[in-house]
Amino acid sequence: MAARTTTSGSGHEDEQMAAMRRLQVLSLHLLDPSSSSRSEGEGKEGLALAACAGKRRHASGGADAAAALAACLRGRHRDTQARVFEFFRARPDLQTPVELSTAAHRELCFRQLCALVREAGVRPLSLMASDPAEYFAVMEAAGGVDISLGVKLGVQYSLWGGSVINLGTKKHRDKFFDGIDKLDYPGCFAMTELHHGSNVQALQTTATFDPVTDEFIINTPNDGAIKWWIGNAALHGKFATVFARLILPLQGKGGEPADMGIHAFIVPIRDLETNAVLPGIEINDCGHKIGLNGVDNGALRFHSVRIPRDNLLNRFGDVSRDGKYTSSLPTINKRFAATLGELVGGRVGIAYSSVGVLKVSVTIAVRYALLRHQFGPPKQPEISVLDYQSHQHKLMPMLASSYAFHFATLSLVDKYSEMKKTNDEDVIADVHVLSSGLKAYITSYTAKSISVCRESCGGHGYAAVNRFGALRNDHDIFQTFEGDNTVLLQQVAGDLLKQYQEKFKGGTLSVTWNYLRDSMGTYLSQPNPVTARWEGEDHLRDPNFQLDAFRYRTSRLLQSVAARLQKHNKTLGGFGAWNRCLNHLLTLAESHIESVILAKFIEAVKRCPDEKTRELLKLVCDLYALDRIWKDIGTYRNVDYVAPNKAKAIHKLADYLSYQVRLVAQELVDAFDLPDLIIRAPIGMQSEAYAQYTQFVGF
Of 482, 103, 161, which is closest to residue 285 (Cα–Cα)? 103
Quote the pLDDT of residue 342.
Answer: 81
Average pLDDT, integer, range 586-599: 97
As a whole-number percent, the residues of the chain with pLDDT over 90 amount to 74
Sign of CA dihedral 594, 596, 600, 606: positive
Convert 527-545 into a string of H (helix), E (strand) and C (coil): CCCCHHHCCCHHHHCCHHH
pTM metric for this prediction? 0.88
Q: How far is the C-alpha of 136 from the C-alpha of 345, rounded, in Å?
A: 9
pLDDT at 191 over 90: yes
Quote the pLDDT of residue 524.
Answer: 55
Beta-bridge mates of residue 187? 239
pLDDT at 13 over 50: no
pLDDT digits (tens, 9 = 90+) for 66-117: 888 988 888 889 999 999 999 999 999 999 999 999 999 999 999 999 999 9
As a whole-number percent, the residues of the chain with pLDDT over 70 amount to 87
pLDDT digits (tens, 9 = 90+) for 15-55: 445 444 444 444 444 444 444 333 333 333 333 333 333 34
Is there a contact between 172 and 388 (Cβ–Cβ < 8 Å)? no
pLDDT at 368 over 70: yes
DSSP assignment letter at 2: P
Helix (H) or strand (E) holding 654: helix 644-663
Residue 125 CA, distance from chain mean position: 22
Quote the pLDDT of residue 80.
Answer: 95
Average pLDDT, integer, range 224-235: 97
Quote the pLDDT of residue 62.
Answer: 74
Quote the pLDDT of residue 63.
Answer: 80
Sign of CA dihedral 260, 264, 266, 268: positive
Quote the pLDDT of residue 666.
Answer: 95
Of 369, 243, 215, 394, which is closest to residue 306 (Cα–Cα)? 215
pLDDT at 578 over 70: yes
Give catalytic status of residue 99 as yes or no: no
Quote the pLDDT of residue 30.
Answer: 41
Average pLDDT, integer, range 176-194: 97
Quote the pLDDT of residue 4.
Answer: 38
Average pLDDT, integer, range 312-341: 92
Q: Cβ neighbours of residue 656 under 8 Å, at least 6 residues apart?
A: 32, 33, 34
Of 423, 112, 471, 428, which is closest to residue 294 (Cα–Cα)? 112
Q: Cβ neighbours of residue 31 under 8 Å, at least 6 residues apart?
A: 43, 46, 47, 50
Helix (H) or strand (E) holding 302: strand 297-302
pLDDT digits (tens, 9 = 90+) for 664-685: 999 999 999 999 999 999 999 9
Of 579, 432, 487, which is closest to residue 197 (Cα–Cα)? 487
Question: In the chain, what is the straight-line distance between the N-terminal and C-terminal CA atoms, in Å?
Answer: 66
Beta-bridge mates of residue 244? 263
The catalytic residue among 193, 342, 482, 594 is: 482
pLDDT digits (tens, 9 = 90+) for 624-658: 999 999 999 999 988 888 899 999 999 999 999 99
pLDDT digits (tens, 9 = 90+) for 397-416: 999 999 999 999 999 999 99
Instruction: Please state the length of the chain.
Output: 699
Quote the pLDDT of residue 544.
Answer: 94
Find the DSSP H helices in 31-77. Answer: 40-52, 60-73
Q: Cβ neighbours of residue 285 under 8 Å, at least 6 residues apart?
A: 234, 235, 296, 297, 298, 299
Looking at every residue in the chain, the average pLDDT score rounds to: 88
Quote the pLDDT of residue 296.
Answer: 98
Top-confidence residue, 569 or 687:
569
| Phi, psi at 431, each rounded to 5° | -65, -40
Is there a contact between 485 and 444 (Cβ–Cβ < 8 Å)? yes
CB-count exposure of residue 101 (10 Å: 0-12, 13-18, 19+): exposed
